[in-house]
Structure 1
């Protein structure tokens, strides 16, 4: 069928796209899997033809929707590749498999726990105001918990507005060997060799597999200029600021400020104008296709990417690479630009801050709120979650 009817790959591309974008996020929220397993794809073909024959008998040949055997063959071939893949792989990740007999189609035997599914957490964490103190950028209060997580082989994934260079430095300090997400979900970096197999749909760059979700920075700089000609003085972008100016605005050293400006996919703006001007500018940028996020300090302009999309994609990749492990995602953040990540995770943790109340979430379940701020609150909630989820 793919050779004769789909030689451009349109159907294959479409079905793969739907699985990635629509089905896979749904799979991640499933708690229990029960599979009705056909003996083979040939049985699926035979059973579908039987259905059509019975429908033809019932309608005495007047049913316009009845397919001939050849039409059935053509129709089901659209799903053959994925069905055969499922028959081979899905039993090993299902909680219960009901195997069907080829002639009667009745259940003949049950296999429970084909392979034991191990439960494991993945920790996705914001940095500023969450793992790092909002004012001092210290992570000292989180170190004992980080050691505990590493001891139990629980991956800690920075999911941050920071740049590749900034996260690299922090990972070295904390001895993290895990993937990380930069610039508010614009790209995921996975160390080469972290997974047994190369991750899906990524390019290898400087020792990392990179999955990009956004256009590069220059595109957004041009768009910002085009949509702010009447807003002179209302903001100043990182690209227009010296290291010294950035240092004053962020509290970072000039060296660290330079790393913060080494951006690949986005442009943070130091807003100086009114809220009315900000709303006007934000609406223009959104209409032009940009994603506008208000962070703890700056207004971030990037593509239609966010921390939640990155979390879902990477959690799915963990599951794809480790079929005998049932992963549960935990997201921790303190600000409004963490909401997409918190909404997407299995468990959402809001870290207390002195700057504002806990941001409002649409979800109403599996929400934790710290009583302490920054890394102290980070460790506080994770300690309770580890006890509840894994009894450690």
Structure 2
């Protein structure tokens, strides 16, 4: 039985009204809501949004977008006086937590601009774009669920539209000589260095491999192209499995890959097990961030603790992991080694590569010091 969806309630024309509230990040509907249109100034909107008042838009859609941009500029503007007084963070961990706190606050304020949707995903506003296809991809109906009008934040809608464009265009992956098309809520493999490591590492065999946390299916596709006869790819997110299914089919390797909805391992053993867990031990603030943030290193520790029970005696487990958490002070190298040893594993090889993404050279990034030192590694592990 589906849970009752939350409602956004407001007063309009002296009448109490309500609509279904939708938030992919799990944000609760604002308790205070004010009707807003083209007459509202950016300063007035900013004050209300900072106070947690939702602004239900009734004006021109394109003006709502401009208002959102104006709010972002006000958030990002740093007063010179306060900037001079602000002390540099004492540690990488402090810099990270301050950065995440600022990101969270920024997201909360920008999420206060609200857009109404009809049941068929049309937006009943002037100059509103056609977002029906993008929304139907991001918000599929559950079995037995009936489409109803709803309200969501404009910021979320823009993310849905952006994801739709990424899905259409795809991401070129040199190692597989093809494109991966990420779905909404499934992390895009834009950082190709870890894929290059998997493409170059010597295979321990070609009969069977487990791909743990497959996501878009990019590593399963690569292993299939490298000659692995059968791959069992797991994920606990139905969106990811649907995404992987389409990508594997497009790349012509679907017959080699079995997709399974489960947490971590399938039943049985394999001579090769691959896992690229989230790299940063922190709490995600939205579903898509689960590919980046792993609270208390749950997936990493679960993989290392359980892989021995699923690995063939002479097999190899490949752990693909960045050391960014170590440079941020969120995890130590000693902790990682202790988890490897506690799992009954030994390191028989390690391949390293430095990331090439633009943030490594962006000195204005609050986390630049850690990013400049980051190394991504493929750890080749065997049973002790």
The TM-score, its normalising length taken from structure 2, stands at 0.21
Bigger relative contact order, structure 1 or 2 (CA pairs below 8 A, ≥6 apart): 1
User: What TM-score results when the alignment is normalised by the length of structure 1?
Assistant: 0.21
- Asked which structure has the greater CA Rg, the reply is 1
